[in-house]
Amino acid sequence: MRIESFRIKPQKTNPAPAQSLTVESLLIRLYVYLLKLYPAGFQAAFADEMQGVFMMTLRNALVTGYLGLLMIIWREIRDLPLNLIRARRQANNQLPPATQRVLRIQWFVRIVGGLLGLFLLNTLTIILSPSYNLYSQAIPFVVMLFLASTSLLIALRWGRVGGLLTITFGIGMGICIILYLALMAWAEISVLLTLFIGVLWALPFVIFGALFYKLSQHPARHANTAKHLSN
Amino acid sequence: MTDKQTRKHESLPLTEATFFILLSIAHKPKHGYAILKDVESLSGGRIKFSTGTLYGVISRLLEQEWIEQIENDQPPDAGRPRKDYALTDRGRTILNAEVGRLESVLASAHLRFGEENR
């Protein structure tokens, strides 16, 4: 007797729901990361609700299709910078004037320090390009310049550690430039001028490193969080 | 002009976003998503908030005490307790003042157009 082999024909399933679920969960995860950019008080008050509303909006859009979904993502991204600025300004307005002043200084130092770090790293790419004839004696200075510039960028996020590193590498860089000038034995440059050039290179890093360190220890840094917790 | 009137006057005109949010919760308290959808429908699909914009305005209105947060009795959505937003007396006064202002603006426009058509 011949046994008829048969296979259960797999039912055609629509892959869209599973795919949508992945897209949805991925977008929600990304949205949660974006919410972390808001001030602590705002996050504590609204992040959970915002996530819920975003989830419902996504589900609604997925029913209509991917165009609706793209529109939602576009709207969120388009409005995000302005919403962040407004939320930060609103959070800062609730703080005492002295704290507001410190926060303004902190932002100024961050912006200028960050720009300085990026500018110097960009300068290094020019110095290290093959067309540039770099003396081997200058390599320690270049390394120190790289470390000090990177420390400035680290200080944007970790003020205390970044500040200390910036000061250290800044001083190191000043010493390296002094040694470099001395080793190259350019007789035209006096000892005083050599020292002056070394200090001139180190000074911005020492100033910004100290500012980052000092501001990271100021209680105003936690002002928004502290205010929310006290509420 | 009294102090209260001055404050009310300074708040006007309202931005479109603020006006529609206040209007949306004028009759009954609503949660965030309902406000989002209602504003879209009230404005004929012209205003579509991102969640960030919606909660930015809500946060400001709460701070100004034009709206208040009330706990919703309904079961939580996906483990999240829903919070409704309701208009306060101050918010209602402001909304009424804005509606009055818009009516007077519209009346002026109608008057001028009426004169021109005559």
| Interchain pair A79, B63: CB under 8 A | no
The reported pLDDT for the residue numbered A7 is 46
CA–centroid distance for A43 within its chain? 19
Tokens of A131: 């067309």
Top pLDDT among A122 and B109 is at B109
The reported pLDDT for the residue numbered A230 is 46
The reported pLDDT for the residue numbered A3 is 45
| Closest chain A residue to B59, measured at CA | A42
Sign of torsion over alpha carbons A73, A75, A78, A83: negative
| Tens-digit pLDDT profile for residues B57-82 | 999 999 999 999 987 766 655 555 57
| Set of chain B residues whose Cβ sits within 8 Å of the Cβ of A52 | 32-33, 77-78, 80, 82
Burial of B90 (0-12, 13-18, 19+ CB in 10 A): middle
* Averaged pLDDT for residues A194-204: 91
Is the pLDDT confidence value at A33 over 50? yes
- Helices A40-64 and A16-35: crossing angle in degrees, nearest 10, is 160
* Averaged pLDDT for residues B80-108: 90
| Tens-digit pLDDT profile for residues A73-101 | 999 999 999 999 999 888 888 888 888 88
Portion of chain A with pLDDT greater than 70, in percent: 84
Residues contacting residue A7 through CB under 8 Å, at least 6 positions apart: none
Portion of chain A with pLDDT greater than 90, in percent: 28
Radius of gyration of chain B (CA): 17
Q: In this complex, which of A52, A76, A87 lies closest to B77 when CB atoms are compared?
A: A52
Total CB pairs under 8 A between chain A and B: 64
